[in-house]
């Protein structure tokens, strides 16, 4: 996601320019929602889970991270959490195993092959290897859990957003808020862009409510991605 630290991604260490509104203004708004469950898809080392715990101290958190290295760090960084569950697997629209492109900069790793546009904007991400990871659907996982209906779903999967949504159609009916990384140009092959994600979630009953932040191309200042917020208005009107 543009933010990996809820509002800020670690890209700032290596020179990416990220424009953000003040954190306190956004947390006040997000805290106003009665969230009892957080589903963290693409957890990396637990940045979002850590901030979600601060925002919703009593919520159950379910974090999904397929890469072994980041997953090990995730376990360390959340070791003091109560009501926390972690899964060393990817989420998508099928069950089994799949190949994942592992980037030297772990936050750019994806189940999709990286486009040249990504490498041109961020040359430090040009080197990748591949490993086999386990993959399941969100609906299958959710069917085995007693999830509350007051759910915040965060999806940060580097272009694999539609597959995660396709595998979680039943779960979406219980979700109040979705925070999802959306791109304005293709950074990964065959990824949906903002318009496609917007249309998908609109048909599912969600409305777009702006971005938490935007990722800027350091070469020309163009906007590459946003952390888009979608709200289930029917649920929030109950």
189 close to 112: Cβ distance less than 8 angstroms: yes
Assigned token pair, 116: 């040249």
CA 230/CA 50 separation, integer angstroms: 21
Whether residue 122 is contained in a domain is answered as: yes
Enumerate the β-bridge partners of residue 128.
103
Q: What is the pTM of this model?
A: 0.89
> What's the total number of domains in the chain?
1
- Rounded Cα distance between 111 and 65, Å, is 12
Rounded to 5°, angle at Cα 169 from 168 and 172: 85
Task: Find the domain containing 163 and state its range.
Answer: 10-236
Is 5 a member of any domain? no
**139 exposure class (CB count in 10 Å sphere: 0-12, 13-18, 19+):** middle
Angstrom distance (rounded) from CA 65 to CA 102: 12
Query: How far lies 37's CA from each of 112, 146, 150, 162, 214, in Å?
Result: 28, 10, 6, 21, 26
Cβ pair 114, 128 in contact under 8 A? yes
What is residue 10's predicted lDDT score, i.e. its pLDDT?
34
Radius of gyration of the chain (CA): 16
Q: Is 127 part of a structural domain of the chain?
A: yes
- Residue 234's pLDDT is 75
Residue 170 in any domain: the answer is yes
Residue 65 lies in a domain: yes
Residue pair 134/20 in contact (Cβ under 8 Å)? The answer is no
Q: What are the average pLDDT values for consecutive 10-residue runs of the chain, which has 238 residues? A: 48 36 65 94 96 94 97 97 97 98 93 94 92 98 90 97 98 96 96 97 96 91 95 74
Measure Cα distances from 167 to 28, 33, 77, 130, 158 in Å.
31, 25, 28, 23, 16
- Write the CATH number for 184: 3.40.50.150
| Cα–Cα nearest to 55, from 123, 122, 186, 152 | 152
Domain assignment present for residue 4? The answer is: no
């Amino acid at each position: 996601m543009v933010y990996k630290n809820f509002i800020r991604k670690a890209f700032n260490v290596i020179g990416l320019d990220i424009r953000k509104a003040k954190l306190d203004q956004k947390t006040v708004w997000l805290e106003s929602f009665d969230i009892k469950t957080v589903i963290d898809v693409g957890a990396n080392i637990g940045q979002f889970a850590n901030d979600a715990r601060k925002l919703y101290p009593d919520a159950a958190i379910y974090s999904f991270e397929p890469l072994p290295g980041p997953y090990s760090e995730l376990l360390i960084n959340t070791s003091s959490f109560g009501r926390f569950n972690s899964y060393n697997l990817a989420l998508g629209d099928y069950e089994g195993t799949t190949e994942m492109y592992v980037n030297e900069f772990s936050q750019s790793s994806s189940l999709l092959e990286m486009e040249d546009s990504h490498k041109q904007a961020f040359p430090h991400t040009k080197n990748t290897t591949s490993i086999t990871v386990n993959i399941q659907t969100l609906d299958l996982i959710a069917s085995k859990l007693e999830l509350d209906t007051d759910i915040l779903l965060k999806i940060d999967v580097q272009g694999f957003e539609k597959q995660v949504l396709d595998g979680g159609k039943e779960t979406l009916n219980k979700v109040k808020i979705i925070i999802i990384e959306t791109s304005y140009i293709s950074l990964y092959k065959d990824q949906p862009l903002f318009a496609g994600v917007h249309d998908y979630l609109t048909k599912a009953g969600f409305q777009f409510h702006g971005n938490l932040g935007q990722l800027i191309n350091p070469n020309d200042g163009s906007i590459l991605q946003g952390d888009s917020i979608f709200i289930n208005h029917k649920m929030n009107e109950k």
